[in-house]
Structure formats: C-alpha cells, structure tokens
Amino acid sequence: MKGLKQLLMCSALVTAAIVTIGTTATASADTKPTIKIGYVEGWDDSVATSNVAATVIEKKLGYPVQLVPVAAGVMWQGVARGDLDATLSAWLPVTHAAYYDQFKSKVEDVGVNFPDAKIGLIVPASLPENSIPDLAGKKADFQGRIVGIDAGAGVMKKTDEAIKAYNLDYQLMPSSGSAMTSELAREMHANKPIIVTGWAPHWMFAKWKLKFLEDPKKVFGGAEHVDNVINPELDQKAPAVVAFLKKFQWKPGEIDSVMLAAENGEKPAQAAQQWVDQHPDRVAAWTSQ
C-alpha cells in the first residue's frame, strides 16, 4: 500500500512536470519578437509614419515595437547589419541613392509608403522668385543664406551641389528640422524672405503658403518616393509584419493630419493612435491577409 502511494505521487509529479513543460513551451511559442524600426527624429514625416506603423504592428499584429531615432546613414547601416529590422524612411531614388547603392545587397525594399515625395529649396509663395536661377543677384534680400537641416541629410548634400551648379553666392546653414521650421516661422511672421531646405510631405505646407523653387538642372531630381526597407531576416522573424509593410501606403493628404497634430503639441504616439482609431477601414486594408 505504501509502495502504491509512492508510485501515485511520482506519477502525479511527472504529470505536473509535463504540464509545466508544455505550458512553458506554449508560452515561448506565443511570445513575439520585438520589432526595431529606425527613424530620423528631426524629420516629421519619418516620425509620423513610423509611429503610425508601430501602432498598427503593436495593436493589430501583436508584436512589441521599439522605435529607434538615428541619423539617416546610421539608419541604413542598422537595417543592413540587422541591428534594426526596418525603416520606413528610405527616400529614393535620389535623396538616399548613396546609401542604397552601399547597402542594397543587404536590405530588401518591400514597397512605397509615400509615392509623391519631393526635396528642394522652399520659399514663401508670395515671393517673385520661382526658380533657383532667380536667386542670383538676390543675395542681400535673403541675407546670403539658405537655412538647412542636419548636415548629413540628403537634401543638404543636394543643396551643396545646387549652389555650385547654379553658381550661387549663398551660405548653407546646417541646423535641424525643428530649428529650420522655427526660423521659417519667425521670418514668415515678420513677412521677410527666406530660403530653406525642405521636403514634402511636411506639415509646414499645411500651416503656411510655401512653394518649391523650380530646379531646371534637376539637381534635386524629380519626384521621389519614400519606401519601407527591411533586413531580409525579418521575413522569417515576423512574416505578418512584412506582409503589412508591403501594403502600408499613404493616400494623398493622410499623413498631414498626423504631422500637424504632433506639431501642435500632441505626442507622436498619441497622434498616431488617434489617426489609427479614426481610420479603421484603412488599417484593415493594410493588415488583411
């Protein structure tokens, strides 16, 4: 009788162990990896797009997301090395051409998220100047400067090329995305002429009347697109995320409200969540299998 009791106790312990192992294995199988997305903190479109994508990936697909602010070059390198799983801020074919040429064998472009992007020199719409050649001889009007963003940005490199190509006697002033828009706000408020390096999509076009200067020599290139670029291992790590990124694309005007909400004081994550909540049909189209 004592032996039978011991046998039953051992059997119960083994059963409990098997259940525990099975439960642990199930929990492990259900745990989804964290998705690391690189973005450029000073670029409002990069912040808005990355936060909306992160919200969808977390709330609709169930993967935790870590948003990692980096410079553009580090962003591309991080995706190529696998330190980052993806970026939704790849400006092609011109702005990030050098980065793409360097890392194209180690990354995968899974699709366009913004099809009508553009970079170039921007001025108040009220000014008579309509093209970059019009800036010649107008140095005094613009204080001899072009207000730029971070020095490593593609638009800054292209502006350096444009100054040489059009033989302009202007100084390009590096700063940051936020510093550039602050300077633009001051000059617009004072009704003074200003030239800034800029891009579309950007909330500043929703706030002020601005225009791109025509670029007859095509130094800044033509129409650009912003792409979703991943590390190839993400296909195995999180196939549902890759399927989403292949469908994730803005329609005209959609991103503007997210950028402007953030500019007006909302935290980017809150602005993204609000947009996702208000557009269930768009989110469903992106995440349907």
CATH of the domain at 82: 3.40.190.10
Asked if residue 268 and residue 247 are part of one domain, the reply reads yes
Query: How sure is the predictor about 135, in pLDDT bands with cuts at 50, 70 and 90?
Result: very high
Q: Please identify, among 178, 212, 246, the residue that sits at the C-terminal boundary of a domain.
A: 212
Q: pLDDT: is 183 or 12 the higher one?
A: 183
Q: Is residue 271 part of a domain?
A: yes
143-153 confidence digits (pLDDT tens): 999 999 988 88
pLDDT of residue 5: 44
pTM comes to 0.73
Asked if residue 267 and residue 208 are part of one domain, the reply reads no
Q: pLDDT: is 4 or 236 the higher one?
A: 236
pLDDT of residue 49: 97
189: domain CATH number is 3.40.190.100
Residue 16 has pLDDT above 90, yes or no: no
Percentage of the chain beyond pLDDT 70 is: 90
Asked if residue 276 and residue 156 are part of one domain, the reply reads no
Asked if residue 206 and residue 146 are part of one domain, the reply reads yes
Q: Is residue 15 part of a domain?
A: no
Asked if residue 197 and residue 247 are part of one domain, the reply reads no
Asked if residue 123 and residue 206 are part of one domain, the reply reads yes
Q: Please identify, among 154, 180, 212, the residue that sits at the C-terminal boundary of a domain.
A: 212
22-42 confidence digits (pLDDT tens): 433 333 346 899 999 999 987
Asked if residue 194 and residue 231 are part of one domain, the reply reads no
Residue 161 has pLDDT above 90, yes or no: yes
pLDDT of residue 154: 83
218-236 confidence digits (pLDDT tens): 999 888 999 999 999 999 9
Residue 254 has pLDDT above 70, yes or no: yes
Asked if residue 54 and residue 110 are part of one domain, the reply reads yes
pLDDT of residue 223: 82
Query: How sure is the predictor about 110, in pLDDT bands with cuts at 50, 70 and 90?
Result: very high
Percentage of the chain beyond pLDDT 90 is: 75
Q: Is residue 12 part of a domain?
A: no
Q: How many domains does the chain have?
A: 2
Residue 98 has pLDDT above 70, yes or no: yes
Residue 78 has pLDDT above 70, yes or no: yes
40-55 confidence digits (pLDDT tens): 987 889 999 999 999 9
CA 99, 105, 108, 114 torsion-angle sign: positive
In contact, 67 and 198? CB cutoff 8 Å: no
Q: Is residue 229 part of a domain?
A: yes
3-state secondary structure string, the chain? CHHHHHHHHHHHHHHHHHHHHHHHHHHHHHCCCCEEEEECCCCHHHHHHHHHHHHHHHHCCCCCEEEEECCHHHHHHHHHHCCCCEEEEEEECCCCHHHHHHHCCCCEEEEEEEEEEEEEEEEECCCCCCEHHHHCCCCCCCCCEEECCCCCCHHHHHHHHHHHHCCCCCEEECCCHHHHHHHHHHHHHCCCCCCEEEEECCCHHHHCCEEECECCCCCCCCCEEEEEEECCCHHHHCHHHHHHHHHCCCCCCHHHHHHHHHHCCCCHHHHHHHHHHHCHHHHHHHHCC
Asked if residue 206 and residue 168 are part of one domain, the reply reads yes
Asked if residue 73 and residue 123 are part of one domain, the reply reads no
Asked if residue 74 and residue 44 are part of one domain, the reply reads yes
pLDDT of residue 30: 63
Structural domain that includes position 269? 33-116+225-281
Q: Is residue 167 part of a domain?
A: yes
Q: Please identify, among 212, 238, 254, the residue that sits at the C-terminal boundary of a domain.
A: 212
Q: Is residue 174 part of a domain?
A: yes
Asked if residue 166 and residue 152 are part of one domain, the reply reads yes
Q: Is residue 24 part of a domain?
A: no
Query: How sure is the predictor about 157, in pLDDT bands with cuts at 50, 70 and 90?
Result: very high
Query: How sure is the predictor about 256, in pLDDT bands with cuts at 50, 70 and 90?
Result: confident
